[in-house]
Amino acid sequence: MNISQVDKEAIQGVFEDVLKSDELVPHFKIAQPDIYEGMVKEALTSSGFPSDVDIKLVSHDFKLFNRKDEGEWVEQYVIEQGLDEESTTEVGHDDVENYVFDHIENLNVQITIKDELSEWIERNPTIEYMGKEIESHFNPIEMASFMKRNKYTALQEKEKACIEVGIPKEEAKKVDYEIKNMRIKTSIEALAEIYADEVKNSNTTVQVYLDNNLYENLVTEVDYELEIDVSEQEEL
């Protein structure tokens, strides 16, 4: 199939306009959203981001660069479109642009991730990440201290412990005690799912959230078990 040199040059001019246009990337995102998202997601997961990452939540740059001579583009286009000397249809900008998008293999794709993973996941935690941070933050001794400091220990628990060692339950309010064998009964995964959503909805970070809320949440919202030890008492 042959066309005149004049027609080839005209088509080449259209290719040059398309490939150099500032609208190339925005139009590609609209025309090929699945391919665009797949490319960005692959780049993100390769850099350690979670497999279900929402690309809209990660700051990034996406650029396309031509790597094929415009003349070669024209030759390929003429053959695949079946153009010849008898063709009278003018080749338009949109036609060429769509053709380019269908041949993304002829373009270089550059994706730059602008967010640091360590900072991003602190504000967009996965359940797995939040679970690990809960386990890292939780200290039964610190939680016991928090409960005593904020008077969260139930009087009934102290009374029961007093009776077991022969102290009248009426004295329970005055006795000193230790909290031992603290254990959270609610699954960490269940907590992580709730806390991860709260971090995302509160515009905060995992570290700040856990520092400010972990023990309060554990004491007031989840199932736990502990032992009250009142065995070491000075004479009342």
What was the pLDDT predicted at 7?
87
**CA proximity to 136, closest of 210, 212, 216, 193:** 210
35-72 pLDDT, tens digit per residue, is: 999 999 999 999 999 999 999 999 999 999 999 999 99
What was the pLDDT predicted at 193?
97
Number of Cβ within 10 Å of residue 201's Cβ equals: 8
Cα→Cα distances 89→8, 13, 23, 103, Å:
13, 16, 24, 22
Q: What SS3 class is residue 224?
A: strand
* DSSP state for residue 92 in the 8-state scheme: P
For residues 2 and 105, which has the higher predicted lDDT (pLDDT)?
Answer: 105
Query: What are the extents of the domains in the chain?
Result: 5-115, 122-229
As a whole number, mean pLDDT of residues 208-233 equals 86
As a whole number, mean pLDDT of residues 21-46 equals 98
Residue partners of 103: CB distance under 8 A and separation at least 6: 76
88-135 pLDDT, tens digit per residue, is: 467 899 999 999 999 999 999 999 999 999 999 999 999 999 999 999
Which alpha helices (DSSP H) does 68-186 contain, by range?
70-81, 93-101, 117-123, 127-137, 140-149, 155-164
